[in-house]
Amino acid sequence: MSLSIQIDASSHCQLACPLCPTADGRVRAAQGAGHLKLSDFEALLDRNPQIAHVELSNYGEMFLNPQLAAILKSAHERKVSVSGSNGVNLNFAREDALDAVVRYRVRALTCSIDGATQETYARYRVNGNLERVLGHIDRIRELRRKYRSAFPLLDWQFVVFGHNEHELPVARAMAAERGMELVPRLSWDDGFSPVKDNDLVRIESGLGAASRSEYRERRGAEYTRSICYQLWHAPVLNWNGSMLGCCVNFWGDFGVNVFESGLDAAMLSPKIEYARRMLTGEAAPAEGIPCTTCDQYVALRESGGWLNAEEIQKSSGARFVAGIVLEADPSVRFAQVSIAAGAAGARFENSGRLFRCGVDTAAYFAPAGPGKYTIQARGLGRSGWMPAVSRTIEIAPRPLCQEFSLDVSGSPATPEQGGEVDRLPLWIR
Ligand code: SF4
């Protein structure tokens, strides 16, 4: 039973990125072009209530869908979390859509910004305007403040090329100023504007590799290996419901339309089942199965590094994320925040992560599943550390993205006796 799907809210894009099959017309030729219709989206969710998360970006630009605000609203009403994590260019965004991504708590947006100056940015994002993109990001941040919301999380994706690698440090600083995480990515094609400073990119990418081919040599696996897991757990649909399987494939489909057949039946369709057996090395390549002509499959075949049951299983399951908005009176400049599993009464050291009041958006953690969790925080006021406050929250089974608040200047928590408890990892943006 699939809990996540990915569907392109729009297959259109206004940019002309040199390596993109949307820009050169290959996606349109193979899959047609259009926007996801609100009526199709609602029917999809209503017919397949097991869908808990929808990724709305793929080869197109989701903000070009004129019904995006209504699509986000209908997902929110059904407790379905939504993201634009595959990538958005954010060059165009209607005000109602920007409002909706915050109002309806879109989990995350990955903004594709491969440069820190207009000249560098537009070398790859041809027709793009960096100032407009940053303006839309800043508007989302304003709306987050207006709605006192932790979401969406904003990531700055930076595909590293030879022409932009020198701007990585400036881009990192610009992202940090906006509470964004800079995520350097290796380019799809080593032949286009190849990286010059390999050592810099090896460090900045955090991968010890400056290109996908080097990644393959060093790790013995494809950089994008995990994309194939989508055939099992997070299938990708075209805007019109046809099954594309994964976010790489645009050249063929798997012979089934999820809007017509329903998701469970589509996941058991013969071509998908056959493709899964191909990827685990149990079936030979076959005409009509999109994987057969995919570079990633060819590499798997050459190396014999087939997907195995353990990694496929590990990639399954719903991923929760919770955002804690910390409130405080203006005299409080910092707060230490900790999170532990379990109900109030758990005693844990308040030596947690430092939150900058008025600067950071929220503290986030990834609950293992539904249940009770305790947040504890203490503010740093004019006269030093204030007494700790705490709140026990209950993570519900849905939506996967949930939000809570804690007033750091509120009533102190009753000191608890008891043993140490494990603090959960958290991150602050
Ligand atoms: S082999 Fe290619 S087309 Fe098939 S699932 Fe993997 S990435 Fe997608």
Full residue range of the structural domain in which residue 12 is found: 4-223
Q: How far is the CA of 286 from the centre of ligand 1 (A)?
A: 13
259 inside domain: no
Domain final position from 223, 243, 273: 223
Stretch 274-287: mean pLDDT: 98
Model pLDDT, residue 1: 59
- The residue to mutate among 292, 297, 302, having the most atoms of ligand 1 within 8 angstroms of its beta carbon, is 297
**pLDDT value of residue 352:** 79
> In this structure, is residue 62 part of a structural domain?
yes
For residue 207, name the pLDDT band (cuts at 50, 70, 90).
confident
Residue 197 in domain: yes
Mean pLDDT of 129-149: 97
- Percent pLDDT > 70 in the chain is 96
- As given in the structure block, the two tokens for residue 385 are 């550390």
Considering the domain boundaries, does residue 376 fall inside one?
yes
Query: What is the tally of structural domains in the chain?
Result: 2
Q: Which of 243, 296, 301, 312 to mutate to test the pocket of ligand 1 (most atoms within 8 A of CB)?
A: 296
Digit-coded pLDDT (tens) for 28-57: 999 999 999 999 999 999 999 999 999 999
- Final residue before a domain boundary, out of 197, 223, 249: 223
Whose Cα sits closest to atom 6 in ligand 1? 228
Question: Is 95 buried (19+), middle (13-18) or exposed (0-12) by CB count in 10 A?
Answer: exposed
- pLDDT, position 412: 79
In a shared domain, residues 197 and 73: yes
CA 240 to ligand 1 centroid distance, Å: 20
289 within some domain:
no
Domain shared by 91 and 201, yes or no: yes
Whether 255 has a pLDDT exceeding 90, the answer reads yes
Strands, DSSP E only, in 296-385?
A: 321-327, 334-341, 353-356, 363-365, 371-381, 384-385
- Residue range 333-353, pLDDT digits in tens: 999 999 999 886 656 666 778
Q: β-strands 321-327, 384-385: how paired? A: unpaired
pTM of the model: 0.95
Query: Hey, which of 26-35, 210-219, 314-323 has the most confident mean pLDDT?
Result: 26-35
Query: What SS3 state is found at 325?
Result: strand
Angle between helices 270-279 and 295-303 (to 10 degrees): 40
Residue 2 pLDDT: 60
Q: Which of 274, 294, 302 to mutate to test the pocket of ligand 1 (most atoms within 8 A of CB)?
A: 294
CATH number at residue 33: 3.20.20.70
- The answer to whether residue 279 is domain-embedded is no
Tell me, yes or no, whether 8 lies in a domain.
yes
Is the per-residue pLDDT at 108 higher than 70?
Answer: yes
Which pLDDT belongs to residue 318? 74
| Stretch 16-32: mean pLDDT | 96
Per-residue pLDDT at 244: 98
Phi/psi of residue 300, nearest 5 degrees: -60, -40
Q: Is the residue at 234 inside a domain?
A: no
Domain end marker among 223, 249, 274: 223
Range in 146-150, 280-284, 290-294, 388-392 the model is least confident about: 388-392
Assess whether 77 and 183 both reside in one domain.
Answer: yes
pLDDT at 204: 84
The residue-averaged pLDDT of 168-194 equals 94
- Residues in contact with ligand 1 by the CB-under-6-Å rule are 227-228, 231, 245-246, 248-249, 290-291, 294, 296-297
